Structure 1
Amino acid sequence: MRPAVYKAWARAFHSNLQEPALPLEEYPSLQAFFIRSLKEGSRPIDPDPNCLVSPVDGKVLRLGQLRGPGTMIEQVKGFSYPVSSLLGATSSLHDATEEDISGEQTEQNVPESSNAKSWWRVSVASPKLRDRTLLSPKRGIFYCVLYLHPGDYHRVHSPVDWSIFKRRHFSGNLFPTNERAVRTIRNLYVENERVVLEGQWKEGFVAIAAVGATNVGSIKVSLLHQTELCIR
């Protein structure tokens, strides 16, 4: 009966059954199917070393720039939470934002003719656009909130080649994270259980916060050739 159950799940949540790495009958449980791996080549990775790759299949809910540890991220209109509450009071974000500010001051003092080089001169991405005004590097620390639908591929991969130096687990609730819950539960992402990874890539500070939800309450961190989190 398992393949029939998985097919029903896929129809209900619009999962692509052409992508799983294994035949349906080889998944011993719905949980195993939920955290299924994909066939090789299903998600081509941009080889550009200056490119940030989305770590998950998901819908972008919010994005913006962090001006400091006290920066508020808007959950929905009227509901906001500080990034320091999400990442934790001991997050290295504070040091990273201080470095960012000092870097901006340095930028103002460097003559245009100077040959000095620093990481802020490199753009996070290199879009191939003809309008050169859109290609100027924008330095700073930015955030992006991604929502995984129940039918999405539920593994989280490294967005860049980075070194992880801190991992923390925050116990909490397992409220749903769907659109209705986001609009009714204040501080939803801060209240829910989550695992935060912090590290460094060649452009500076990086953090990933994997937030649990109803029936998705187990986060397994597998450090292989790349970071992969199985969110169950």
Structure 2
Amino acid sequence: MSLAKFFALIQYPIPHHLLSRLVGCLAECRVAWLKNALIRAFIKVFKVDMGEAAEPDPTAYATFNDFFTRELKPEARPLGEGLLSPADGNLSQFGPIEADRLLQAKGHRFSMIDLLGGDADAAQRYTGGSYANIYLSPKDYHRVHMPLAGTLTEMVYVPGRLFSVNAATTEHVPNLFARNERLVCHFDTEYGPMVVVLVGAMIVAAIETVWAGQVTPLSGQVQRIRFDEPIHLERGAEMGRFKLGSTVVMAFAGQVDFDDALAPKSKVAMGQSLGVFKNS
């Protein structure tokens, strides 16, 4: 048995939510010597580039979470053309949505219906469209931005497990992104419907959005939230953030011509052009 498969298997019996909440408490600790030690150790282990941060002094952050969700300098992530990467990370998989199925990793596909919390009508909008999955590693910038300008129509919280979403786990845990806790954000755009799914993961203590603040953790039931007033976000604007790392899955009703230079596991930066919509 490979180490990657062993790592995936030992996660099944772990109390994912309890472990994540405990880590979340530690990440919110305001004891100066402790949070500073945690931040410095993290920067050293993961080789975090603090030169990009709006606040480069690690000790200036009130908590580890404040450091982890740090703002970047305005010029650090220029916006490209067309469809933008919503986050820093690895573009793990991308391409056309075929018969409601999206590729998770070699040998593993997952259902758009399952990803959206069982909403077959919403999933139908994306038949023949395109998708992309971006994995945010611990060293990455952890704010998520709009790949296109859009108006929020609905937010859906879907409860689930909190498996790790690193490469080892995505290759060995079937239906991973549709099993984990996640926040499904539906938008209308000039290219048709778009959904951005913020997928929780082990030790991800919470997911936040700019329109609702901290959303997770919630209860064990699917919760649908609509908004009385339209919430419009411009292309490249911040939409949310992860308190510790995870994955973004985005899908579009329109077909995307992805950049020829991209390949599975390509490193991408927030604001980088991923491609353009066909017939746009």
Q: Same fold (TM over 0.5)?
A: yes
When structure 1 is superposed on structure 2, of 75-84 and 28-37 the one drifting more is 75-84
The one of the two structures with greater contact order (alpha-carbon pairs below 8 A, sep at least 6) is: 2
In 2, Cα distance between the equivalents of 1:156 and 1:210? 9
Residue 182 of structure 2 corresponds to residue 194 of structure 1: yes
Match of 1:228? Answer: 239
Q: Is residue 117 of structure 2 the alignment partner of residue 88 of structure 1?
A: yes
| Mapped partners of 2:43, 2:96: distance in 1 | 36
More strand by share: 2
Whole-Å separation in 1 of the counterparts to 2:135 and 2:122 = 24
Residue number in structure 2 paired with 1:30: 64
Counterparts of 2:126 and 2:117, CA distance in 1: 14
- Aligned partner of 2:84 in structure 1 is 53
- 1:81-230 to structure 2, matched below 5 A, reads 81-90=110-119, 92-95=122-125, 97=127, 141-223=129-211, 226-230=237-241
Q: Deviations over 1:104-132 (max 9, x none)?
A: xxxxxxxxxxxxxxxxxxxxxxxxxxxxx
CA contact (8 A) 1:155 1:229 kept: yes
| In 1: Cα distance, 2:101 partner to 2:148 partner | 25
Determine if contact 1:174/1:213 at 8 Å carries over to the other structure: yes
1:3 CA displacement: 4.2
Opposite residue 55 of structure 1, the aligned amino acid is P
Q: 1:93 touches 1:205 (CA, 8 Å); kept in 2?
A: no
* Residue 79 of structure 1 pairs with residue 108 of structure 2: yes
The residue type equivalent to 1:37 in the other structure is E
Distance in 1 (alpha carbons) for counterparts of 2:168 and 2:126: 34
The 8 Å contact of residues 94 and 103 in structure 2, kept in 1 or not, is answered as no
Instruction: Give the RMSD, CA atoms, in angstroms.
Output: 1.9
The question of whether the paired residues in 1 share the 8 Å contact of 2:100 and 2:123 is answered with no
Kept after mapping to 1: 8 A contact 2:97/2:126: no
Partner of 1:43 in structure 2?
A: 77
Kindly state the Cα deviation for residue 4 of structure 1 after the two structures are TM-superposed.
Answer: 4.7
Given that 1:164 and 1:199 are in contact with CA atoms closer than 8 Å, whether structure 2 keeps it comes out as yes
How many positions carry a matched residue from both structures? 185
Aligned to 2:249: none
Distance 1:58 1:142, change over 3 A: same
- Number of the residue aligned with 1:137: none
Judged with a 3 Å threshold, the aligned counterparts in structure 2 of structure 1 residues 190 and 28 are, in CA distance, closer, same or farther, namely same
Identity %: 30
Structure 1: where are the runs of 5+ without partners?
Answer: 98-139
AA matched with 2:77: R
Between Structure 1 and Structure 2, whose CA radius of gyration is higher? 1
Which amino acid in the other structure matches residue 230 of structure 1?
A: R
Cα deviation digits, residues 148-179 of structure 1 (max 9, x gap): 00111111011111111011001111111111
